[in-house]
Amino acid sequence: MAVVLLLALVWLLAYFRVKLWVWTTVVAMYLGYLTVAGRGNTVAWLLFVLAAFLNVVPLRRVLVSRPLLGLFRKLLPPMSQTEREALEAGTVWWDGELFSGRPDWQKLLAEPAPALTQEEQAFLDGPVEELCLMLDDWKICNELHDLPPEAWKFVKDKGFFGMIIPKEYGGLQFSAMAHSQVIMKISTRSITGAVTVMVPNSLGPAELLLHYGTEQQKDHYLPRLARGAEVPCFALTGPEAGSDAASVPDSGIVCCGTFEGKETLGIRLNWEKRYITLGPVATIIGLAFRLHDPDHLLGDKEDIGITCALVPSKLPGITIGTRHDPLGIPFQNGPTWGKDVFIPIDFIIGGDTMAGQGWRMLMETLATGRGISLPALSTGAGKLTSRAIGAYARIRKQFKLPIGRFEGIEEPLARIGGTTYLMDAARVMTCGAIDQGRKPAVITAIVKYHLTERMRKVVNDGMDVQGGGGIILGPRNFLGRTYQSAPIGITVEGANILTRSMIIFGQGAIRCHPYIQQEMRAAADPDQRQGLALFDRALFGHIGFMISNAARSLFLGMTGGRLVRVPGGPARRYFQKATRLSAAFALTADAALMLLGGNLKRKEKLSGRLADILSNLYLLSAVLKQYEDRHRPQDEWPLVKWACEESLFSIQESFAGLLRNFPNRPAAWLLRLFVFPLGRPLAGPSDRLGHQVAGILLEPSSVRDRLTAGMFLPKSLTEPLGRLDDALPKVIAAEPVEKKLRDAVRAGKLKDQPDARFLEEGVRSGVVTATEAEVLRLALAARAEVIRVDDFPKL
Ligand SMILES: Cc1cc2nc3c(=O)[nH]c(=O)nc-3n(C[C@H](O)[C@H](O)[C@H](O)COP(=O)(O)OP(=O)(O)OC[C@H]3O[C@@H](n4cnc5c(N)ncnc54)[C@H](O)[C@@H]3O)c2cc1C
């Protein structure tokens, strides 16, 4: 009994993360009580006295923390300056809560739901709608291989290139949410159009100038960029520096030279860049290069480091203008070379004081930028697929049934609908965080990676459902180009495999963990005394954190999280399950960091799975927040449920894969006990739930409209989407008529034959009325238009 009581006491203290002195006092009282009751134990008292010494901080520092600090320094992987700058970029937000193992859901729900201003909404309903109408994607991809000149002029004149530029410089000064809505809407019309608008607003010169530019640079360039008088590109990647962009070999040598007839201090540049979006038409190149100062014209250092400058593309020595062909999606993209190009020193973004700060600048801007554009484009693809493929699956019939009614098709339809809901929720929540002034570097990596990956899966599913109609390119094809473009989003702004394996967990563990960054800072502190004091505090906090997470993980695992206090309502159990898995994640992440140390950096399959757990917890949080922000709409429940169950199941499977492959087997067995004390309870979305989600895509409704809100929806029947939206209600209205006819055939009253004659016979024999026949006739005509594909006299 005494042992059970002691265990319960220890568990309670651990669960509630009490301070060390509280532990000591409570255990002392307990041992005292046993002693008074005549059941005292000398060994227990001895152990207690030894442990109680941990409260004597100076002693503890010398006996425990100092040797552990030495060990910790050995375990730390070596880190370059560029790695450190990448790791330190941005801020921590909800990712920190998920890492804590005890996410405060009320805090998340209290975050304001992002909303558009009237001006932003008017821009979406006006110029964006107008631009979409100008973008004939077939013509763009097959004839012009570019946007039409009037679209180029329109985007420049209407300020599309200046969405992030403040009004004082003539820009639109839109929120991240509005920016996202604009890109998303254009992407549902033309990927080429969306990428063209995206780039000047993304990780380009404008963003860098806004944060780091000198007043003079801002005054000169921002108004010109806002009105499209300058077309910018940003050139970082080269043949030898792709994912490892910090290894950029392009060089700038500080020297004196002549610029516009004047002798001036400047930089002689040599570069070879490729894949540069808008490069072929750019008038101004944001260039990243490594700056050297062999003659010490700027200071003591010779290798100054990565630097960003604004280089007018017309300067002598620059070759620009030839194009790459990115999978047939003809946004402007190409290489550029510079040979002995001379620029004045004040062309460095931020002036010469920012020389060598380029990598930090890039990482800081990436920390927000990658959370906006590509997630918007990816969600656009999800919405387009949900709306168009859902309608198509109802309109297209095989074996006398709409293909969407076959269970085999329901499966991809459910994935399309549920995933689109999740993508949209993550997009909106992330934009909301950015609009609140945050720069959540790990979260933006999560949404960039997961939304572009999910776009690829959703569009693949859509292509499978559409069959041949998706494959035959032409003006009638509404998904083929999006399918072709999927790998582009995967590769740019941090290629996905690298983002998953190295950044999400690598950066997450250091930035979001409540103690690791403190421990690292302490280990790097040149002041030994101060370093030891800092390390000691962080270390004991960390130990308490781990003990608590172990207690919580086990208890929450055994109870399925049922006793945790979370927001109420239908989604209550999902909040509880997410809390439970967050505690398990915190425990497992710590165990992996402790047992694998610096090796975890190379164990990308393990860190990738940890990244997936953290990411799915974030995506799940976004779904729950969206559902609560919208005041729990009942008709969205199947989508919410599907997205939650899918995310929870993915988390469980990532844990299973991690534990199965964890190199330290005894630790893996122990962790399994704490993470899955009663086995793996989650099964993912059921077939029945999938049926409900698929059903949402198959007919017009307000929930389907909400799922696909923000898309460009052409009304014209010459447009594939217009034809689908026109045909869907007609086909649904005709279904009872078709049923009457089929029943009549089954009853032997009518002979089965091709559609037109069949109808005439139906009316003549009184099976259907003339009005009903007309309903069916209209549906058949609309369906014929939808299923037609293009052919050409010659290719
Ligand atoms: C259409 C398009 C537009 C672009 N626009 C621009 C632009 O405007 N400006 C610009 O500067 N750049 C641009 N890029 C470049 C883009 O950012 C790079 O393509 C990207 O960084 C990847 O580099 P890479 O293609 O050389 O691939 P590599 O670096 O050779 O990578 C190949 C694969 O290896 C993986 N990988 C690499 N290292 C690791 C690792 N340590 N762990 C796990 N996996 C790893 C990557 O994830 C990738 O899957 C563009 C590229 C394309 C295709």
Question: DSSP string spanning 61-94?
Answer: IIIIIHHHHHHHHHHSPP--HHHHHHHHSSB-SH
The CA 488 to ligand 1 mean position distance, Å, reads 10
Element (H, E) at 254: strand 251-259
pLDDT of residue 624: 98
CA 346 from centre of chain: 36
Query: Is the CB of 135 within 6 Å of ligand 1?
Result: no
Q: Is the shortest distance between the CB of 242 and ligand 1 below 6 Å?
A: yes
Q: Tell me the average pLDDT across 660-679.
A: 95
Q: Is 390 in the pocket of ligand 1 (CB under 6 A)?
A: no
Phi, psi of 222 (to 5 degrees): -60, -45
Tell me which residue has its CA closest to atom 36 in ligand 1: 498
Report the pLDDT value the prediction gives residue 342, as an integer from 0 to 100.
97
Q: Residue 187: name the closest of 137, 223, 225, 234 by CA.
A: 137
- Assign 189 to helix, strand or coil: coil
Tokens 């002036």, located at residue: 351
Mean pLDDT computed over 506-512: 88
The 10s digit of each residue's pLDDT in 174-212 is 999 999 999 999 999 999 999 999 999 987 889 999 999
Catalytic residue from among 207, 364, 493, 646: 493
- Angle 129-132-133 from CA coordinates, rounded to 5°: 90
The response to whether residue 375 sits with its C-beta less than 6 Å from ligand 1 reads no
At 622, is the pLDDT very low, low, confident or very high (cuts 50, 70, 90)? Answer: very high
Q: Which pLDDT belongs to residue 750?
A: 87
Cα 429–433–435 angle (5° rounding)?
Answer: 115
In this structure, are strands 232-235 and 284-292 parallel, antiparallel, or unpaired?
parallel
Q: What is the pLDDT of residue 58?
A: 87
DSSP SS3 for 567: coil
8 A C-beta contact, residue 418 and residue 412:
no
83 lines ligand 1 (CB under 6 A): no
Nearest CA to ligand 1 atom 44: 498
Spell out a b/e string for 131-166, using b for 16 or more CB atoms within 10 Å of the CB, else e. Answer: bbebbbbbebbbeeebbeeebbebbbebbbbbbbbe
CA of 513 to the centre of ligand 1 (A): 28
Query: For the chain, how long is the longest CA-to-CA vector?
Result: 103
Q: Is the CB of 226 under 6 A from ligand 1?
A: no
Per-residue pLDDT band for 116 (boundaries 50, 70, 90) equals very high
Question: What is residue 203's predicted lDDT score, i.e. its pLDDT?
Answer: 76
Q: Residues 636-641: what's their mean pLDDT?
A: 98
Q: Is any ligand 1 atom within 6 A of the Cβ of residue 327?
A: no
At CA 20, angle to CA 17 and CA 25, rounded to 5? Answer: 110
According to the model, what pLDDT value does residue 197 have? 96
Residues 6+ apart with CB under 8 A from 72: 519, 523, 535
Tokens of 594: 């402790």
Identify the bridge partners of residue 270 per DSSP, sorted by sequence position.
251
What number of H helices and E strands is found in the chain? 35, 9
Residue 28 — pLDDT band, cuts 50, 70, 90?
confident
Residue 440 per-residue DSSP state: B
| DSSP character string of 391-416 | HHHHH-EETTEEGGGSHHHHHHHHHH
Q: Is 504 in the pocket of ligand 1 (CB under 6 A)?
A: no
Give CA–CA dist 26/40, Å, rounded. 16
Q: What is the 3-state secondary structure (H, E, C) of 105-165?
A: HHHHHHCCCCCCCHHHHHHHHHHHHHHHHHCCHHHHHHHHCCCCHHHHHHHHHCCHHHCCC
Q: Answer yes or no: is pLDDT of 287 > 80.
A: yes
| 227-240 pLDDT per residue, tens | 999 999 999 999 99
Per the structure block, which two tokens stand in for 420? 């689109």
- Residue 152 pLDDT: 98
Coil, strand or helix at 248: coil
**pLDDT tens-digit map of 44-66:** 888 888 888 888 888 888 888 99
User: How far, in Å, from the CA of 301 to the mean position of ligand 1?
Assistant: 30
Q: Which of 745, 643, 754 is nearest to 693 (CA)?
A: 643
Question: Looking at residue 73, what is its pLDDT?
Answer: 84
| Nearest Cα residue to 134 out of 728, 712, 765 | 712
> Average per-residue pLDDT in the chain?
94
Report in angstroms the alpha-carbon separations of 769 from 375, 670, 731, 734: 50, 72, 17, 12
Q: Residue 48's pLDDT is what?
A: 83
Contact 262, 307 (CB under 8 A): no
pLDDT computed for residue 382 by the predictor:
98
Task: Tell me which of 197, 498, 504, 600 to substitute to probe ligand 1's pocket, judged by most ligand atoms within 8 Å of the beta carbon.
Answer: 498
Helix, strand, coil distribution of the chain in percent, nearest 5? 65, 10, 25
| pLDDT tier at 756, thresholds 50, 70, 90 | confident
Q: Is 407 a catalytic residue?
A: no
Q: Are 3 and 41 in contact, with CB atoms under 8 Å apart?
A: no
Minimal-distance CA residue to ligand 1 atom 12: 237
Q: Given phi > 0 = left and psi -120 to 50 = alpha, else beta, which region is 561?
A: left
Reply yes or no on whether the pLDDT at 83 is more than 80.
no
The lowest-confidence range among 200-214, 400-414, 751-765 is 751-765
Separation between Cα atoms, residue 179 and residue 246, nearest integer Å: 29
Mean pLDDT (whole number) for 447-463: 98
- Are 203 and 361 contacting, i.e. CB atoms less than 8 angstroms apart? no
Say how far apart CA 566 and CA 597 lie, in whole Å. 34
| Beta-ladder partners of 785 | none
Number of residues in the chain: 795
Q: Report the pLDDT value the prediction gives residue 17, as an integer from 0 to 100.
A: 81
| Among 159, 482, 487, 140, CA closest to 332 | 140
Ligand 1 mean position, distance from CA 236 (Å): 11
- For the purposes of burial, counting CB atoms within 10 Å of the CB of 261, is it exposed (0-12), middle (13-18) or buried (19 or more)? exposed
Mutate to test the pocket of ligand 1, among 208, 374, 491 (most ligand atoms within 8 A of CB): 491
Q: State if residue 243 touches ligand 1 by the CB under 6 angstroms criterion.
A: yes
The residue whose C-alpha atom lies closest to atom 25 belonging to ligand 1 is: 242
Q: Work out the average pLDDT over 13-37.
A: 84
Per-residue pLDDT at 57: 84
Predicted pLDDT at 14: 83
Is the pLDDT score of 171 beyond 90?
yes
More confident residue, 757 or 116: 116
Mutate which of 243, 276, 373 for ligand 1? The one with the most ligand atoms within 8 Å of its CB, which is 243
| Residue 176 Cα to ligand 1 middle (Å) | 25
C-alpha–C-alpha distance, residues 623 and 600, integer Å: 30
790 has a pLDDT exceeding 80: yes
626 lines ligand 1 (CB under 6 A): no
Nearest ligand 1 atom to alpha carbon 204: 8
- Across 610-634, average pLDDT: 98
Is ligand 1 within 6 A of the CB of residue 138? no
- Residue 60 contacts residue 54 (beta carbons within 8 Å): yes
Instruction: Give the residues across from 259 on adjacent strands.
Output: 262
The rounded Å distance from CA 491 to ligand 1 centre is 5
pLDDT bin (cut points 50, 70, 90) of residue 677 is very high
**DSSP codes of every residue in 268-335:** EEEEEEEEEETGGG-SEEEEEEEEE-TT-SSSS-SEEEEEEEEEETTSTTEEE------TT--S-EEE
Q: Point out the ligand 1 atom lying closest to the alpha carbon of residue 236.
A: 11
Nearest to 375 by CA among 315, 459, 452, 468: 452
- Residue 21, pLDDT > 90, answer no
Parallel, antiparallel or unpaired: strands 251-259 and 232-235: unpaired
What's the confidence (pLDDT) of residue 183?
A: 98
- 298-302, 446-450, 573-577: which range is least confident on average? 298-302
Residue 6: is its pLDDT beyond 80?
no
* Three-state SS at 748: coil
Q: What is the pLDDT of residues 531-589, one digit of tens each?
A: 999 999 999 899 889 999 999 999 999 999 999 999 999 999 999 999 999 999 999 99
CA dihedral (773, 778, 779, 784) in degrees, to 10, reads: 120
Q: Which atom belonging to ligand 1 lies closest to the Cα atom of 233?
A: 8
> What confidence score (pLDDT) does residue 632 get?
98
d(CA 494, ligand 1 centre) in Å: 6
Cα(493) to ligand 1 centroid in Å equals: 8
Q: Is 495 in the pocket of ligand 1 (CB under 6 A)?
A: yes
Cβ of 487 less than 6 Å from ligand 1:
no
Q: What is the pLDDT at residue 394?
A: 98
Using a 10 angstrom Cβ sphere, with 0-12 exposed, 13-18 middle and 19 or more buried, the burial of residue 636 is: buried
